Amino acid sequence: MADGAVPRRPGLVLHQRHRHPARRRDGRPADVAVHAGHRVLDADAHVVEPASVFGELARDSMDLPPTTPFVPCGDADKIADQLSNGFDAPSYLRAMDREGIDAVVLYPSIGLFVPFRPDLDARASADACRSYNDWVAAYCADDPSRLAAVGIAPLADPGLAAAEARRCAELGLVGVLVRPNRLYGRNLGDAAYGPLYDALETTGLVLAVHEGLGLKGPTVGADRFEGFALRHLCSHPLEQMTAMATLLLEGVLERHPSLRVAFLESGTGWLPYWLGRLDAHHEWMRDTECAGLPLTPTEYFRRQCVISTDPDDDLAAWTISRVGADHVVWASDFPHPDALYPDAVASFLEEAGEHGLSGPPLDTVLWDTPARFYRVEDRFAGGAPG
C-alpha cells in the first residue's frame, strides 16, 4: 500500500513485539519486531552513504525530473532516529530491529550513479568505486553478523572492474553491483565484460543487476518521458528485462556456468512471461543466433539466478509457483522513498497469506534462498533472534 499502512483482518497476527535484551548494543532491553517466527534476510536495502565518500563527483551526478519524491520512506518522521544520526550503522541496526529484519545485504544510494557518469574516465570511476567499497566494508564491520554489502566496480574498463571485484572479495563484500543499462556502448552480454565475470566466478561474488532512475546515461523511460512517474514506471522492470535477455541469450551464463546473478528491485510478475518469451525465441533461433546455447533461458535462470520480490508484490506467490522459492528473495528497498518501513515485512506477510504462500516456501524466500545465494549462512548464523 502506498502509505505503508497494513490492513488488519480479525484474528490475523502479522507480527508481535517482544523483549529481546541481547539485540541492544548498549545493554538495555529493546522492542524488537518478530514476524510469526520467520527469520528475515533483507536481500536489497540501501545505505545512505555521505556525499563525501565521492567528493566533488557527487555533485550533479543524477538526472531527475523536478517532481521526483526524495523523502525517505515517504515520511521523514518514520526515520527521525536515522536522519539525526546520519544513517550510521547503529541507527541502521535499530531500524532493522523496529522492522523485524535479522540481517541485510546493503546496496549503495549515491553509488548507483556516481561511478557510471558518462563524463568520468575509467580511472576516476575506479577511484570512486574504491572509496565507496572501503567505506561500506567499514560500515558492515560494525556488526558483521547482521550487515553485509555488495560493492561497485568501474564498468567503463572491464579489466579495472575485474580488479576491483577481486578487491571487493578481499574486503569481505558479497557481490558487485552492475547497472542493467547499455553503458559505454555495451550490453551486459558483451564478451568485453568477460574479465569481470571471470573474477566474480573465481571469488564467488554475486553479479547484482540493479537499476536506479536518475542515471546520466541511456535509460528506458527517461529516453521518451519527461515526468517522474512514467520514467520510474518503465525504468526498473524494462531495464531488467533487457539485462536478463542479453545475459541469457548472448551466452554469458553458458560461458560462465558458476556465475550467480540477481535481478533486483523490479518486482517478479514479469518473470514467468519473460522467461517464456525468451524460451520461445531460443527455440526459434536455435540453429542460428542461439546455436551455442544448449540450455533454454529458463534452464539457465534456474541454474544460476534469483529475482527479488517487493513488500507489496501481489504476484510473488504466482511467480514462486512457476520458478520455485529457491529463485526468489525478499527485499525492502529501505530507506528509499517507496519503501514501506516499518511495515515492509508485515505487508509482505499479508500479501503472502492472501495468496496462499506460507510454511517452508515462505521461509525459503525470507531467509534460506538469500543466505545461500549470497553465501552468508555462516556469517549470519548468530544474527537472528532466538
Provide the pLDDT for residue 341: 97
CATH class of 37-373: alpha beta
**Calpha distance 29→303 (Å, rounded):** 44
Nearest to 313 by CA among 336, 329, 298, 326: 329
Question: How far is Cα of residue 264 from the mean position of the Cα atoms in its chain?
Answer: 4
Contact 73, 79 (CB under 8 A): yes
The full set of domain ranges for the chain reads 37-373
Cell of 86: 546520519
The residues near 381 (Cβ < 8 Å, ≥ 6 apart) are 145
Tell me if residue 16 falls in helix, strand or coil.
Answer: strand
Give which of 24, 64, 82 is closest to 339, Cα–Cα.
82
How high is the pLDDT of residue 15?
31
Looking at residue 35, what is its pLDDT?
75
| Count of other CB atoms within 10 angstroms of residue 109 | 16
The DSSP code for 291 is T
Torsion of CA 317, 147, 257, 112, to 10 degrees: 90
Residue corresponding to grid cell 510454511: 359
Q: How far apart, in whole angstroms, are the C-alpha atoms of residue 117 and residue 275?
A: 31
pLDDT value at residue 29:
36
Burial class (CB in 10 A: 0-12, 13-18, 19+), 67: exposed
Strand 175-178 with 151-152, pairing? parallel
Output the DSSP codes for 329-377. EE---TTSTT--TTSHHHHHHHHHHHTT--HHHHHIIIIIHHHHHTT-T
What pLDDT does residue 16 have?
33
pLDDT in tens, 309-318: 999 999 999 9
pLDDT value, residue 72: 85
- pLDDT, residue 276, reads 99
Position 348 scores a pLDDT of 97
Positions in the chain short of pLDDT 50? 1-30, 384-386
- CB 298 within 8 Å of CB 34: no
